[in-house]
Structure 1
Amino acid sequence: MEAQSQGASSPDDVQHHRKQTRKATASGWIGSALEYYDFFIYAQAAALIFPQLFFPSGNPKVAIIASLATYGVGYVARPIGAFFLGHWGDTHGRKTVLLVCMFLMGAATMAVGLLPTYHQIGMLAPTLLVIVRLVQGFAVAGEISGASSMILEHAPFGRRGYYASFTLQGVQAGQILAAAVFLPLAYFMPEDAFNSWGWRIPFLLSAGVLVAGYIIRREVEETPAFTKEAGEAEVPKAPISEAFKYGWKDMIRVVCMALMNVIPVVATIFGAAYAVQAAYGIGFHKSVYLWIPVVGNIVAVLVIPFVGNLSDRIGRKLPIAVGAIGSGLLSFGYLYAISIHNVPVAFIMSLLMWGIVYQGYNAIFPSFYPELFPTRSRVSAMAIAQNIGTLITALLPALFATVAPPGSANIPLTVGSITLGVTIVAALAAWSARETYRIPMSRLGEPDAVPIDKAEYDRLRGQTVADEKLAKASA
């Protein structure tokens, strides 16, 4: 695909390639949105209502910490899922692994909506909650790496950053949908009814999510890069071994960069508990606080493609580094705004931290991570490294609640300092990696790959953009 874009292609060829790219991008966007809707409705519930439903009510501090810990449990399963699903994606294809992820996630999420509470079955309730959360974590482990690889391998020359960014735009849309489903329920339903049965509705709606996702993804064709390797009998038998043998340095970099997940953790998990849980004494209403991630994600959806396109012009490393450190600094202001119960300022800080600055990282990693690895082990290497990094950050909500429990002083300073330290590590890891945006698709992942000349890259990218406009005009 990319090689063909560099030469003179007929309008029909360009139009066909453009349609394939758009189809893969739409599949990645919609699939990620649907799957992360499932994942994030759990995150919202863990912060807002699970402490009262699935844990003993005698000690609210312990209940908050335990509920946030079950959120982290989902990430414990992600490295395990990454090993299995990454191997599957590199040996059986990107399309197949994305369908597997969809079915596992849908089934686990519906199960949460059917679970009895602690008051009904005692300690068996949190045990079952942990089990289904483990299945969720296992399933989501292959989503981003599979979807990012699929879009990247369909993308035309010089446009990989732009098209791959739609994977994360879909993720942000899934978070909007997750919060938006909770908003009318939390606002219009009596609190007793919401806590009794209303919270189950978003989880049971995953049945529709599962059906829609299957219909969309079954129509997607396998990527040209994987098809070529399969046709030449070059599909590796042990892609994980190859990933660790040849790409371990870049896997370590991805682990460190994936620590940027600390920003959505602060914004949607700890921030929600800090603002809403009575033990902290802030007193935000559930429905009011839920609007903060919704608005932040709406802004992110608008910003992401522009940042992805920018990375095709100036490279991947600089936007990631700036986005990492900038969002880490803004976390202080966001948490402080919550601490003084200032809703307008909390909204503004959320928009700046999460909706805009964080996208310097968030919009670019779907192209940068898979570009660091060759086709043969791309899904495995990215999935394993990314999910180890996010596992580490998923333990942070419980850590935050432990080092800054209800009643403690300087909560914004304490949590903000940890957050900034983590984002600095991520920025340094990105800066130490090689720049990838000017490396041809066929040479991605090779340690000695040399980027093409900047002027030649700009010329070829300009030709790709012109071809896309021609195909659009002739469609």
Structure 2
Amino acid sequence: MSEILPVPQEELSRKAMRRVVLGSFAGALMEWYDFFIFGTAAGLIFAPLFFPDSEPFIGLIAAFATFGVGFLTRPLGGIVFGHFGDKVGRKITLIWTLGIVGSTTFLIGFIPTYQDIGIWAPVILMILRLIQGFGLGGEYGGAALMTIESAPQEKRGFLGSLPQTAASVGIMLATGVFALCNYFLTQDQFLSWGWRIPFWLSAVMLVVGMFIRLHTEETLDYKTQKMVAPREKIVPPLIELFQKHPRNTLLAFGARLAESVSSNIINAFGIVYISSQLALSRDIPLTGMLIASAIGMVCCPLTGWISDRIGQKRVYLFGAGFCVFFAFPFFLLLGTESKLIIWSAMILGYNLGPTIMFSVQPTLFTSMFGTHVRYTGLSFAYQFSAILGGMSPLIASSLLALGDGKPWYVAFFLFIISGLSFICVWLIEPYSHNKKDTRKKFTSYRYSREH
């Protein structure tokens, strides 16, 4: 099947474009809120609730294992929903993924603890986490494409970064809800029922997000592709992805690693390291991430706007390079045990590292794949690399134990992964379309529209 460029067409009205961005943002917010409340809960309270008979370190590792296991089904979800997203459409696929993610997150808030039903408690938690991961696997690629494929070419960096802002909002909501529960509830109340509140609140976002997505149109690129693409043979998107985009698929996979690993180490593992290993109040890292994510809400669209002027690749290289540079200083700053310095480390680490990369990631990756395999391409690169990202808190906790409580093995792990991503981004080149074939097909398409 010959790939073509998205043909020029009338831009969406401002009202329609706002609705598209809002729909992408709502789904992405649900994804990131669910992602971060589970990671925060795994670090703070899952060990005593679901693994009470274990040693503290072993219980923490087991809790982070439930966090990481959800990433095992994300690649499967990415392949399944990527296929339907490329074949059936972005909109209907995203409605399904949102429903799966929202409902499973809500149900996690009702799981009895180990004290109530024994071993079945962590088993049920793990099953729901696996289902949640399956839905999350199809969410990212489509949510990003809903905005980028409907935006003007010269504004795709900025408009594509707006749904990405949901990551910072998701962190702020997740850590904010936990911080409020921690502030207003006693330790016994929090462990008894207070931890369930953040999971129950996901139902509100599910209803709002579903309403918005049901009233969002299909993307312009996808509708155009369906109108003018040849149909002489049908090839599954996953097979065509590796037939025509093998190099870019692997490079996108490698480029994504630094963003995923650094984000989880700074947020999920960082909160636990500060509160458990350094024995400081957990209000300190929670407040630090609240401030960092609030700044990220501004940093993300600003980075997208800059990328439209200097290119997404240069911006991404800066973010990956910063993670290489900051891997060891991050833990040195945390080790001072000074509240202001810890906050500064979390703000700098989060916003100049993963946030910078995340802001331009979907726009950069979109340029690497043809339209009719794009959902699959983004989902594959994102979800398979997310396995390592999701396992990062577990890996970091194990490396911390291996280093007798010293964080230098963790820092070296972040250093190596970030360096690998920097090299992959350096080698990225945009997908080369068949322009001659595109012009001929667009002429035919335009003639049929005019007559």
Distance 2:428 2:31 in 1: 30
**Do the aligned residues in 2 keep the contact of 1:144 with 1:167 (CA within 8 Å)?**
no
The alignment status of 1:414 with 2:409, answered yes or no, reads yes
Distance 2:274 2:434 in 1: 50
Q: Normalising by structure 2, what TM-score?
A: 0.90
Which position in structure 2 is the counterpart of 1:89? 85
Q: Where in structure 2 are the equivalents of 1:176-325 lying within 5 Å?
A: 176-232=172-228, 234=230, 238-260=236-258, 261-277=260-276, 280=277, 282-325=278-321
Please state how far the C-alpha of 1:393 moved relative to its aligned partner: 2.2
Q: Deviations over 1:391-423 (max 9, x none)?
A: 122222212111212881531x22111101111
Which position in structure 2 is the counterpart of 1:446? 432
**Do the aligned residues in 2 keep the contact of 1:145 with 1:370 (CA within 8 Å)?**
no
Which position in structure 1 is the counterpart of 2:423? 428
**Do the aligned residues in 1 keep the contact of 2:322 with 2:352 (CA within 8 Å)?**
no
Relative distance call for 1:354 and 1:67 in structure 2 (3 A) is same
Q: Where in structure 2 are the equivalents of 1:14-163 lying within 5 Å?
A: 16-163=12-159
Please state how far the C-alpha of 1:101 moved relative to its aligned partner: 1.0
**Do the aligned residues in 2 keep the contact of 1:253 with 1:433 (CA within 8 Å)?**
yes
Distance 2:211 2:67 in 1: 29
Please state how far the C-alpha of 1:192 moved relative to its aligned partner: 0.4
Distance 1:40 1:234 in 2: 42
Q: Deviations over 1:158-189 (max 9, x none)?
A: 11111111121112211211111111101110
Distance 1:407 1:252 in 2: 32
Distance 1:3 1:84 in 2: 27
Distance 2:99 2:159 in 1: 25
Please state how far the C-alpha of 1:127 moved relative to its aligned partner: 1.0
Please state how far the C-alpha of 1:226 moved relative to its aligned partner: 1.3
Worse-matched range after superposition: 191-200 or 296-305:
296-305
Please state how far the C-alpha of 1:17 moved relative to its aligned partner: 3.4
Please state how far the C-alpha of 1:288 moved relative to its aligned partner: 2.8
* Identity fraction in percent: 29
**Do the aligned residues in 2 keep the contact of 1:21 with 1:154 (CA within 8 Å)?**
yes
Distance 2:253 2:403 in 1: 34
Q: Normalising by structure 1, what TM-score?
A: 0.86
Q: Deviations over 1:123-159 (max 9, x none)?
A: 1111111111111111111222101111111011311
Match of 2:164 among 142, 156, 168: 168
Distance 1:329 1:249 in 2: 27
Which segments of 5 or more consecutive residues in structure 2 lack a partner in the other structure? Answer: 437-451
Letter in 2 for 1:200: R
**Do the aligned residues in 2 keep the contact of 1:299 with 1:356 (CA within 8 Å)?**
no
Please state how far the C-alpha of 1:3 moved relative to its aligned partner: 5.7
Q: Where in structure 2 are the equivalents of 1:299-448 lying within 5 Å?
A: 299-405=295-401, 408-411=404-407, 413-434=408-429, 436=430, 445-446=431-432
Distance 2:141 2:17 in 1: 17
Aligned length in residues: 429
Q: Deviations over 1:192-215 (max 9, x none)?
A: 000010000111112212111111
Please state how far the C-alpha of 1:242 moved relative to its aligned partner: 0.8
